[in-house]
């Protein structure tokens, strides 16, 4: 879940909140003065380290020379 930083426009309190993606559009109230007049600051999105290791090994086929049939 990503952290979002908010700032209160009333008292200038900066706080951060961890929200679900479905709640990301909602602005929380200030924990200090309980004012809904808050704005979202820069969002620090925690990226999940999804490392996919996949290597395709192509087998090299050596074609043997066929003997001439005459």
Q: Which of residues 23-42 bind Zn ion (CB under 5 A)?
A: 30, 32-33, 35
- Ramachandran angles phi, psi of 13, nearest 5°: -75, 130
Which tokens belong to 57? 């090994």
Rounded Cα distance between 41 and 36, Å, is 15
d(CA 36, CA 9): 9
Single residue of 1, 3, 11, 27 touching Zn ion by CB under 5 A: 11
16 binds Zn ion per the rule CB under 5 A: no
Interface with Zn ion (CB under 5 A), residue from 2, 5, 7, 10: 10
Chain positions contacting Zn ion, by CB under 5 A = 8, 10-11, 13, 30, 32-33, 35
């Amino acid at each position: 879940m990503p952290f979002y930083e908010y700032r209160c426009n009333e008292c200038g309190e900066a706080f951060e909140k961890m929200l679900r993606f479905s709640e990301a559009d909602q602005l929380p109230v200030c924990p200090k003065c309980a004012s809904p007049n808050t704005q979202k600051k820069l969002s620090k999105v925690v990226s999940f380290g999804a490392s996919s290791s996949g290597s395709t090994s192509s087998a090299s086929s050596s074609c043997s020379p066929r003997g001439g049939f005459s």
